[in-house]
Each structure stands twice: as C-alpha cells, then as structure tokens.
Amino acid sequence: MKSTGIVRKVDQLGRMVLPSELRASFNIKDGDALEIFTSNDMIVLKKYMPADIFTGEMEDLVEYKGKRVSRNTIKELARLAGFKLDEAPRSSDGDNFELDDIL
C-alpha cells in the first residue's frame, strides 16, 4: 500500500472529503457506492462492484429480492432444480433461455 501524502480531517458527523484527484484516478462519480473494510489499524475504501452472490461473477447480472445473480448461475440452478432449458437467441426482453418443462 502506498501513501498519497494527503491528510483529511473528519468532521463532527464522521464525514471526510475524498480529494478530486483520487476520485478521478479511481473513477468514483457522485452517487457511487464504496465498500468499507478494516484490517488491523486501517480503514480501506473500495469502489463497490456488485457481483453474483454465489460465484462472484460480475457480468450479465440480474437483481432478485435485493441480491445479484448472474444468468449463468440462474441457468445452473434451474438445471439442478430439474428444469430442462432450451438455449435460444437472446430476445428483446433480455432473456436468453426458456424453461420447457419439469423433468
């Protein structure tokens, strides 16, 4: 970990400002979420990147009840649950498979 040489004070509400140079270099925009980690005596901020709750995949995600799951995981779970899947070209509504029937 390297030091930036930047020091910021925390206000009475616990807030501090991330310098614009750091926001630009890490592509942090207004409204972006940051994850907060701790390690020994350090607080680490990381730009939040949503991922599949099962596999950690970060592409082709679907949100269901506040959780993110990739389409690949959904297909695998459907197969494990006994559904037969017919792969089809992706339709205009974003689905790329259809459930035919239960085995």
pLDDT digits over 46-101, tens only? 888 888 999 988 889 998 888 889 999 999 999 999 988 876 655 555 555 555 54
pLDDT of residue 101: 47
Instruction: Provide φ and ψ at 61, rounded to 5°.
Output: -90, 150
Q: What is the pTM of this model?
A: 0.53
Q: Is 97 left (phi over 0), alpha (psi -120 to 50) or beta?
A: beta
Instruction: Please name the helix (run of DSSP H) or strand (run of DSSP E) that holds residue 67, with its range, or none.
Output: strand 67-70
Domain 1-49 has CATH 2.10.260.10: yes
- One-letter amino acid for residue 50 of the chain: P
Distance between CA 59 and CA 72 in Å, rounded? 10
Residues of the chain with CATH 2.10.260.10: 1-49
